[in-house]
Amino acid sequence: MSNILAEDTLVWHLACSEVDIPENGGACALIEGEQIAIYNFKRRGEWFATQNLCPHRQQMALSRGMIGSTGEEQEPKVACPFHKKTFSLKTGACLSGDDYQIQTYPVKVENGMVYVGL
Amino acid sequence: MKKKIVVVGNGMVGYKFCEKLIAKDTAQEFDLVVFGEEIRPAYDRVHLSSYFAGKTVEDLTMAPASWYAENGITLHLSDPIVDIDRDAKTVRSHHGLVESYDYLVLATGSAAFVPPIPGVEKDGVFVYRTIEDLDMMQHHAKKAKKGAVIGGGLLGLEAAKALLDLGLEETHVIEFAPRLMPRQVDDAGSKMLQTKLEELGLKIHLNKNTQEIRGNGAISSMLFADGVELEVDMLVISAGIKPRDEVARIAGLEVGVRGGVIVNDYLQTSDSNIYAIGECALAHHMIYGLVAPGYEMADVVVNQLVKDKDKSFKPFDMSTKLKLIGVDVASFGDAFIQEPNCQTIVYENSAKGVYKRINISNDGKYLLGGILIGDAEQYNMLLQNVKNQTILPPDPEDLMLGARGGKEESGAGVMALPDDASICSCEAISKGQICGEVLAGNNTLDAIKKCTKAGTGCGGCVPMIKDLINETMKSQGVYIRNIICEHFDYTRQELFDLVKIKGYRTYEEALDGLGHGDGCETCKPAVASILASLWNEMILVKGNDTVQDSNDRYLANIQKNGTYSVVPRIPGGEITPEKLIVIGQVAQKYGLYTKITGGQRIDLFGAHVSDLPAIWEELVNAGFESGHAYGKALRTVKSCVGSTWCRFGLHDSVSFAIEIEERYRGLRAPHKFKSAVSGCTRECAEAQSKDFGIIATEKGWNLYVCGNGGVKPQHALLLASDIDSETCLKYIDRFLMFYIKTAEPLTRTATWLNKLDGGIDYLKAVVIDDVLGLNKQFEDEMNMLVEAYRCEWKEVVTNPELRKRFTHFVNAPHLKDPNVKFEPMRDQIKAAEWVK
């Protein structure tokens, strides 16, 4: 598609150490001026990252939300602490019926340190 | 001396700015220079689809290049601005032109938002934004048969219209949400619109998540998350817009997290000589994706530059009316406001393909907004009613129907309602639809929510839906249990008993032993509440911190801008001057808004999450404890001043209130609960509106239970009269434990009693006559919980590990959230208004 800007190459940014993110919960890191919510889904042995902003009322809150899963596919999700709008941690799609979409980011953990790809 | 204005962007809004400035006759005052990225001057993007229906580029052009020349405007096309030097006040173009400016107007518009789906780069995949896009689509369509559009919103349906016009054999619309035009139309309206559009030849797929675009070089099919594959040889992506803020970013102007150049009410960016208008501007925390507000923005900036009048950009009415492929669609005012904040009237006629909904203020006086599908004839009149706040006639449905609307009266019990009675007015779901789904096997609340969407809006109808499910199942001879959620197949009462028997102390243990999956925001706080009610351990340890609900997680109440409020316990509402001074000093030091609460204490608002431990350290050192205003727990025991001062007082209501509050402080329950003690029958403490209330009599105390303020006020009922203090506390112990063990999650005592078989008489039999033989156990359990009480905040401030979690940025603990904004009000602060 000619008129789509080429995707920037992924750059890994050091976010924090592994223990900074509570198990089965999230915390927010400031990376390149962006607020990124990072989730340590210990129960699944997975890490996720999304924008921290909940698009519903534009609040910087997703990192403080409860995480969990839904459906037969066990889709991992986060619920905004304000009004419990839920978002897929995999795709960023809103799972509670609204047409919101949040940004998700790749995460990797190496030697106890957490990196987010922007 | 003439000043120079440079406009970056030559789209509809950028053009409108020029037009409005010229109209002010400003040629002597300003030089105007315009840079545009596209090869042709601004054209009408709103009616882009008419290009395929036969309109030419000339027809769509706002004004020809000659117009710019005639009005002394320098127009550079195919030459976007790539850099702004704010110090030198110059811009540099792609071709290397450097132009100085006094004022810069960014009107860079937006680009199509393309979701990161694998395969978007394939041939035959387009966005729908410019005339070039249209030319490429037209070329490709010659050899294409089956087309699809990702996005069922306004732009997506426009693009679908374009594919129809291009003569494709099949046109599919793929929408991720469960309905079309989710921003303008509700579910029922979407269904009607869908029927009409399908009649016109579109194939609509809702709830579809595109996972991959397949094909060897060129698109040949789309694969969805549900495994279905759709063969297409042409695809248009119209899933939303993203503001073009690249040059603003480079220039270091403030931009929103999700894009958009942040502007104030005067559309100034963080640099007061630079304005942003149209779809690149983030005004009132939102991108206005319609042309009308963009034009209004152009007008605001022109007015400021010519200093004609002090005009600001106000939140813009986003009402819209349009004809989509021949179908009227209109959405006006507050289209989605839901009961109980309004009354909703719905008219639906599937034979004619008409759906209408109007929302009326609860007092029936004003029209608030609505939705019209299939027939939008009354749009303007209705919009006028909203804008002018006209007082409505006694039968407001006549406004949308003509005088022929009928009313339906709801009977007493939910099963007495007619089948077409609207149960969920947010989603316009009738009783018949819900009962039908229950009979078809969707017999849980979650299943009903999923298949009908009922109960997913304001949630006010959820109890009614539950009753409908239960009653329908009963009528089928099935006994139904209200299970917690998809992760626990138990009722709360069953789960409570099981967790106790197994001795589980953490959510993870309970999930491993009794549940399945990873949990969710329903079962986590429900189990957390059970654990707290059973053991009364610190709620933030053993990994239970992340299963607490929003407020419990930070031991404070989250407020509108993401800051928290702090409520120290003031038992019985009694406080010394010394403690009052400390509260004042803390509020002053941390810049907090202070207000007296309804429960006779003081709420301190606006605390940053990272300040909470320091604030509490000072409060704890002054002898305060947590007030548990954030918990589903005892809130306050309100009191009148009683016999110590009042000439009518019979007993010392303050002392008893303090004793009660200190007994049950920190006690967690299925929902919050409140209490009050009045010193005489005048009832100044309003005890009969509390979960348990006590009123002094000549001979002792009267104990009332299960009262409630809130949405549905209910008076408390007399449980026992003329009892002494000791008996009173015993009865309260038993009553509270019985409630804690048997109520469903988030059920107040009043609702619990209403559902309790046998009602208050049965409750009396349990609490007073001990028919269950459990009272000794209830009292022992309560004594254990009272013994286990510790102030949560005291534990946090003295525990460095727990304190560490109270930060906004985990990698910059001393930094506060820069997005938190306050506004001044009456010598204090308030949270900045959020987007609605």
Could you read off the pLDDT of B306-333 as tens digits, one per residue? 886 678 888 877 778 777 777 889 898 8
Domains of chain A: 23-117 (2.102.10.10)
Comparing CB atoms, the residue among B453, B520, B543 nearest residue A69 is B520
* CA–CA gap between residue B134 and residue B128 (Å, rounded): 7
Identify the CA nearest to B107 among candidates B307, B302, B312, B317: B302
| Cβ distance of A41 and B176 shorter than 8 Å | no
Q: List, for residues A11-53, the tens digit of each pLDDT value.
A: 999 999 999 999 999 999 999 999 999 999 999 999 999 999 9
Residue B411 has pLDDT above 50, yes or no: no
Residue B152 has pLDDT above 70, yes or no: yes
Cβ neighbours of residue B22 under 8 Å, at least 6 residues apart? Answer: B32, B71, B73
Q: Please give the residue that has the higher pLDDT: either B835 or B553.
A: B553
Q: For chain A, how many helices (H) and strands (E)?
A: 0, 12
Number of neighbours of residue B233 by Cβ within 10 angstroms:
20
Q: In chain A, what residues touch B121 (CB-CB under 8 Å)? A: 1, 4
Comparing CB atoms, the residue among A25, A58, A82 nearest residue B558 is A82
| Cβ distance of B547 and A24 shorter than 8 Å | yes
Average predicted confidence (pLDDT) for chain B:
89
The residue type at A37: A
* CA–CA gap between residue B294 and residue B274 (Å, rounded): 16
| Cβ distance of B116 and A7 shorter than 8 Å | yes
Residue A15 C-alpha, separation from nearest chain B C-alpha, in angstroms: 7
Longest CA pairwise span in chain A (Å): 44
| Cβ distance of A74 and B518 shorter than 8 Å | yes
B512 CB near a chain A CB, below 8 Å?
A: no
Comparing CB atoms, the residue among B125, B519, B811 nearest residue A16 is B811
| Cβ distance of B121 and A1 shorter than 8 Å | yes
Residue B483 has pLDDT above 90, yes or no: no
| Cβ distance of A22 and B545 shorter than 8 Å | yes
Q: Quote the tokens at residue B468.
A: 């409908």
Three-state DSSP class for residue B656: helix
Q: What is the DSSP letter of A94?
A: B
Q: In chain A, what residues touch B115 (CB-CB under 8 Å)? A: 101
User: Residues 357..396 of B with a Cβ closer than 8 Å to A: which?
Assistant: none
Residue B462 has pLDDT above 90, yes or no: no
Q: Please give the residue that has the higher pLDDT: either B311 or B185.
A: B185
Please tell me the predicted confidence (pLDDT) of residue B830: 92
Q: List, for residues B263-274, the tens digit of each pLDDT value.
A: 999 999 999 999
Q: List, for residues B740-753, the tens digit of each pLDDT value.
A: 999 988 889 998 99
Please tell me the predicted confidence (pLDDT) of residue B291: 83
Q: In chain A, what residues touch B133 (CB-CB under 8 Å)? A: 3
Residue B405 has pLDDT above 60, yes or no: no
Q: In chain A, what residues touch B136 (CB-CB under 8 Å)? A: 2
* CA–CA gap between residue B215 and residue B213 (Å, rounded): 7
Q: Quote the tokens at residue B453.
A: 């969407």
| Cβ distance of A28 and B809 shorter than 8 Å | yes
B254 CB near a chain A CB, below 8 Å?
A: no
| Cβ distance of A66 and B524 shorter than 8 Å | yes
Q: List, for residues B513-543, the tens digit of each pLDDT value.
A: 999 999 999 999 999 999 999 999 999 999 9
Comparing CB atoms, the residue among A27, A55, A70 nearest residue B810 is A27
CA distances from B708 to B219, B632, B749 (A): 61, 15, 8
| Cβ distance of B550 and A64 shorter than 8 Å | yes
Residue of A nearest to B152 (CA): A99
Q: Quote the tokens at residue B370.
A: 């609505």
User: Residues 428..487 of B with a Cβ closer than 8 Å to A: which?
Assistant: 453, 456, 486-487
Please tell me the predicted confidence (pLDDT) of residue B386: 80
Residue B409 has pLDDT above 50, yes or no: no
Q: What distance lies between CA B169 and its chain's CA centroid?
A: 41
Domains of chain B: 3-110+243-305 (3.50.50.60), 114-239 (3.50.50.60), 320-401 (3.30.390.30), 422-474 (1.10.10.1100), 492-548 (no CATH)
Strands B692-696 and B673-678 come out as parallel
| Cβ distance of A4 and B127 shorter than 8 Å | yes
Q: Please give the residue that has the higher pLDDT: either B350 or B665.
A: B665
CA distances from A18 to A26, A109, B266, B783, B801 (A): 11, 7, 44, 41, 15
Please tell me the predicted confidence (pLDDT) of residue B465: 86
Q: Give residue B417's pLDDT band: very low, low, confident or very high (50, 70, 90).
A: low
Residue B285 C-alpha, separation from nearest chain A C-alpha, in angstroms: 7
Q: In chain A, what residues touch B289 (CB-CB under 8 Å)? A: none
Q: A1-5, A57-61, B121-125, B641-645: lowest mean pLDDT where?
A: A1-5
| Mean pLDDT of all residues in B205-225 | 93
Q: A71-75, B379-383, B766-770: lowest mean pLDDT where?
A: B379-383
Residue B238 has pLDDT above 70, yes or no: yes
Residue A5 has pLDDT above 70, yes or no: no
Please tell me the predicted confidence (pLDDT) of residue B45: 87
Q: Quote the tokens at residue B490.
A: 């138990």
Residue of B nearest to A1 (CA): B121
Q: Please give the residue that has the higher pLDDT: either B473 or A118.
A: A118
Give yes or no for a cis peptide into B340 (omega within 30° of 0): yes
Please tell me the predicted confidence (pLDDT) of residue A4: 40
Q: In chain B, what residues touch A1 (CB-CB under 8 Å)? A: 114, 120-122, 125-127
Number of neighbours of residue B128 by Cβ within 10 angstroms:
23
User: Residues 66..125 of B with a Cβ closer than 8 Å to A: which?
Assistant: 111, 114-116, 120-122, 125
Comparing CB atoms, the residue among A44, A58, A64 nearest residue B518 is A44
Which of B546, B563, B609, B612 to probe the A interface (max A CBs under 10 A)?
B546
| Mean pLDDT of all residues in B212-230 | 93
Q: In chain A, what residues touch B559 (CB-CB under 8 Å)? A: none
Please tell me the predicted confidence (pLDDT) of residue B27: 83
| Cβ distance of A67 and B550 shorter than 8 Å | no
Burial B376-390 (b: 16+ CB within 10 A, else e): bebbeebbebbeeee
Please tell me the predicted confidence (pLDDT) of residue B478: 67
DSSP letters for B732-780: HHHHHHHHHHHSPTT--HHHHHHHSTTHHHHHHHHHTT-TTS-HHHHHH
* CA–CA gap between residue B664 and residue B690 (Å, rounded): 15
Q: List, for residues A56-74, the tens digit of each pLDDT value.
A: 989 999 999 999 999 888 9
Q: In chain A, what residues touch B258 (CB-CB under 8 Å)? A: 51, 53, 55, 103
* CA–CA gap between residue B564 and residue B810 (Å, rounded): 18
Residue A29 C-alpha, separation from nearest chain B C-alpha, in angstroms: 5
Return the number of CB contacts < 8 Å for A and B: 153
Angle between helices B131-141 and B154-165 (to 10 degrees): 40
Q: What distance lies between CA B334 and its chain's CA centroid?
A: 14
Strand partners, B51: none
Cβ neighbours of residue B753 under 8 Å, at least 6 residues apart? Answer: B705, B706, B717, B759, B760, B763
Residue B408 has pLDDT above 50, yes or no: no
| Cβ distance of A61 and B121 shorter than 8 Å | no
Q: List, for residues B88-131, the tens digit of each pLDDT value.
A: 999 999 999 999 999 999 999 999 999 899 999 999 999 998 99
Q: A42-46, B32-36, B87-91, B337-341: lowest mean pLDDT where?
A: B337-341
Cβ neighbours of residue B44 under 8 Å, at least 6 residues apart? Answer: B12, B60, B61, B62
Residue B132 has pLDDT above 50, yes or no: yes
Q: Give residue B488's pLDDT band: very low, low, confident or very high (50, 70, 90).
A: very high
Q: Please give the residue that has the higher pLDDT: either B393 or A85.
A: A85
Give percent of chain B above pLDDT 90: 63
Give B817: exposed, middle or buried? Use CB within 10 Å, 0-12, 13-18, 19+: buried
Residue A110 C-alpha, separation from nearest chain B C-alpha, in angstroms: 17
Comparing CB atoms, the residue among A1, A69, A71 nearest residue B125 is A1
Number of neighbours of residue B634 by Cβ within 10 angstroms:
24
